[in-house]
Amino acid sequence: MNKLLVIVALAMVLVMPVVLAVDVGSGVGISVTTQRFAPKVWMCDNRVTMDDNTENSQNVLSLSERKHNYAFEGESIHWTVLVMDKNKIEEVTEVVGTIGSSQGAGNDVEVECIRRGCIAPRGKTVPNGDILASCNARIDQYNLTTCDSNTMSYYDCTLTVETPISMHGEYFITVEAKDLSGLSGIMAENEYWFLNPTIALTVDGSLSFEDVMPGTSSYSNTLLVGNDAEAGSGVILDMFISGTDFYDPSSSGARCSADAASGGIPTNKLALKEFRYFVTNGAYVSGTATFDTDAEGYTDIPYSTEISGAERIMRWRNGPRGAAPSSDVIDQDWNNGNALSPGSEMALTFRLNMPEPCVGDFSEGQIYFWGEAI
């Protein structure tokens, strides 16, 4: 009996837990997700519009005179934007200029922008890496003042208008930044442009001088020269005029004016210098607004078969002949007196001072009217 009790006691001792240290611990896992930050885009103050070298008759690249929302092939819009991605700037895969029929992200990509880092745009001085105040960079009510190269960069974007085949009509235009996760952001300032509107002139009337006595002056019926630009485009046309000499197409033994070009010897042409014109456009009249008017208010016509050699129909007195107006007269003379809005017309009357002696019927030659979008 005693022997049995001892065995049971030993068994109880064997199943007791064994303590190896004085403390104990346990771990628990955690889950952390980083917000996928959609890129932010802010437009800064380096936004300019530029002409090309082929269409501008004054060969001036700035489009500062463009006061309406239309643009033509070769013209361009340039923006400097500040882009931010709090995940890191390298997350931004592309910053692009886009166009589309509605505003917002996801429109057609037309041009890739150039990354500049935190270097201030050319011509801008920003002390100590501060962000340009014109960017107005903010998240909610928090103003961003320092350009952090880990999360921010300036970008230069230039979108040039393509041919009417690919760009014609009204579009929203903006700059969009896209990141690796497919998120994107655009600058708040969507622009709205009419690209490559059709422009045209109308000429109502004809020039006819019948039975003009040599040595006298004759006056034409009044012509109406109008702006027939595409409906809805709002294109304002700056108006020009030029011409050529006139000839008798038949073998009639014509002989007329003597001028320097013919060495002062009468020849078989009627020189353009014998024609002059009088123009009215609203409150503007050629006799009071232009160069080279005679006592009757009539103006001479320059020689040219191209707009580059033509002169403005209403030529202001402020500044050199044929030159663009100074800034203080643009509104007064250029965009009013010599400009036509869609559907409007100038009234021109021509005078012929027929030389004496003169014989012949002179019908070969041209007087040209030109319109350039401003």
Residues 70 and 162 in one domain: yes
Listed in sequence order, the residues at least 6 apart from 7 whose beta carbon sits closer than 8 Å to its beta carbon are: none
Q: Quote the pLDDT of residue 336.
A: 61
Q: Quote the pLDDT of residue 24.
A: 84
Give the other-Cβ count within 10 Å of 357's Cβ: 12
How far apart are the C-alpha atoms of 178 and 85, rounded to whole Å?
Answer: 10
Residues 319 and 288 in one domain: yes
Tokens 């208010």 belong to which residue?
Answer: 297
225 strand-pairing partners: 203, 346
The pLDDT of residue 207 is above 80: yes
| Lowest mean per-residue pLDDT among 57-71, 163-177, 268-282 | 57-71
Q: Structurally, how many domains does the chain consist of?
A: 2
Residues 284 and 208 in one domain: yes
Average of per-residue pLDDT across 80-89? 95
- Measured between alpha carbons, how far apart are the two ends of the chain, in Å? 124
Residues 191 and 205 in one domain: no
Q: In the structure, what pLDDT confidence band is assigned to residue 286 with cuts at 50, 70 and 90?
A: confident
Please say whether the dihedral angle defined by the alpha carbons of residues 131, 133, 139 and 142, taken in this order, is positive or negative: positive
Please spell the DSSP secondary structure of 242-292, one letter per residue: EE--EE--S-S--B----GGGTT---SEE-GGGEEEEEEETTEEHHHH-SS
Q: In the structure, what pLDDT confidence band is assigned to residue 6 with cuts at 50, 70 and 90?
A: very low
Task: Tell me the pairing of strands 191-195 and 70-71.
Answer: parallel
Q: Quote the pLDDT of residue 294.
A: 85
Quick one: what percent of the chain has pLDDT higher than 70? 81
Residues 115 and 240 in one domain: no
Q: Within a 13 Å sphere around the CA of 117, how many CA atoms are in the beta-carbon half? A: 3
Domain that holds residue 141: 40-195
The pLDDT of residue 142 is above 60: yes
| Lowest mean per-residue pLDDT among 166-180, 221-235, 333-347 | 333-347
Q: In the structure, what pLDDT confidence band is assigned to residue 222 with cuts at 50, 70 and 90?
A: very high
| Radius of gyration from C-alpha coordinates of the chain | 38
Q: Residue 91: inside a domain, yes or no?
A: yes
Q: Residue 26: inside a domain, yes or no?
A: no
Q: Which of 164, 195, 226 is the last residue of a domain?
A: 195
Q: Residue 11: inside a domain, yes or no?
A: no
Q: Which of 160, 178, 195 is the last residue of a domain?
A: 195
SS3 state of residue 128? helix
Q: Residue 206: inside a domain, yes or no?
A: yes
Q: Residue 238: inside a domain, yes or no?
A: yes
Q: In the structure, what pLDDT confidence band is assigned to residue 347 with cuts at 50, 70 and 90?
A: very high
pLDDT, one tens digit per residue, over 120-141 is 776 666 666 789 888 999 998 8
What's the CATH number where 60 sits?
A: 2.60.40
pLDDT, one tens digit per residue, over 225-252 is 999 999 999 999 999 999 999 998 887 7
Top-ranked range on mean pLDDT: pick from 53-67, 248-262, 264-278: 264-278
Residues 213 and 189 in one domain: no
| Lowest mean per-residue pLDDT among 57-61, 90-94, 307-311, 338-342 | 57-61
Please spell the DSSP secondary structure of 83-121, one letter per residue: EE-TT-GGGEEEEEEEEESSSSSS-EEEEE-EEEETPPP
Q: Quote the pLDDT of residue 173.
A: 97
Q: Which of 195, 220, 251 is the last residue of a domain?
A: 195
Q: Residue 24: inside a domain, yes or no?
A: no
Q: Residue 90: inside a domain, yes or no?
A: yes
Residues 206 and 186 in one domain: no
- Residue 86 backbone phi and psi in degrees, to 5: -65, -20
Q: Residue 5: inside a domain, yes or no?
A: no
Residues 301 and 161 in one domain: no
Query: What's the chain's length in residues?
Result: 374
Residues 69 and 156 in one domain: yes
**Mean predicted lDDT score pLDDT of the chain:** 84
Q: In the structure, what pLDDT confidence band is assigned to residue 320 with cuts at 50, 70 and 90?
A: very low
Residues 171 and 132 in one domain: yes
The pLDDT of residue 7 is above 50: no
Residues 150 and 260 in one domain: no
How far apart are the C-alpha atoms of 57 and 38, rounded to whole Å?
Answer: 45
Residues 189 and 208 in one domain: no
